[in-house]
Amino acid sequence: MTRFLVVDDDPDLGALVEEKLRPLGDCKVCMSGHEAIETLAKELFDVVVTDYIMQGGDGASLAHYCVNHQIPVLVVSSFPENQIRPYLPVGATFLNKFHAVRGNLLEDTIRAILPVNFG
């Protein structure tokens, strides 16, 4: 089963993302980038879905950690991609937060990141 690590300091948005991903696999939620890195050091996850701006460790640093450890990462933010992309590592995927929580865009993007798991 696919394992997702959802990282967002807004508990409502974290719960919403978790709810959308739960039919695709197991989810664990962290409230900060620092907490997420500690969790990733102890547990294996197939993909990380993270907010960009958070208290306690930002999404860009977490995205760099993930890419350096060959963990697919999806950065979800309300900021425009052109403002964030320069700070993200090559290989990180970006979605606008408002679009991600509507329809199936989040789920479709996850399927594109992990096509083997969802063949």
pLDDT tens figures, 37-67 = 999 999 999 999 999 999 888 999 999 999 9
User: What is the distance between the alpha carbons of residues 74 and 87, in angstroms, rounded to a whole number?
Assistant: 14
Q: What is the pLDDT of residue 119?
A: 41
Q: What is the pTM assigned to this prediction?
A: 0.94
Torsion sign, CA atoms 102, 117, 25, 96:
negative
Task: Return contacts of 81-90, CB within 8 angstroms, 24+ apart.
Answer: 84/52, 84/60, 87/60, 88/60, 88/63, 88/64, 89/63, 89/64
Three-state SS at 88: coil
Instruction: Tell me how far apart the terminal alpha carbons of the chain are, to the nearest angstrom.
Output: 13
- Topology adopted by domain 3-113: Rossmann fold (3.40.50)
Three-state SS at 119: coil
Question: Does 117 have pLDDT greater than 90?
Answer: no
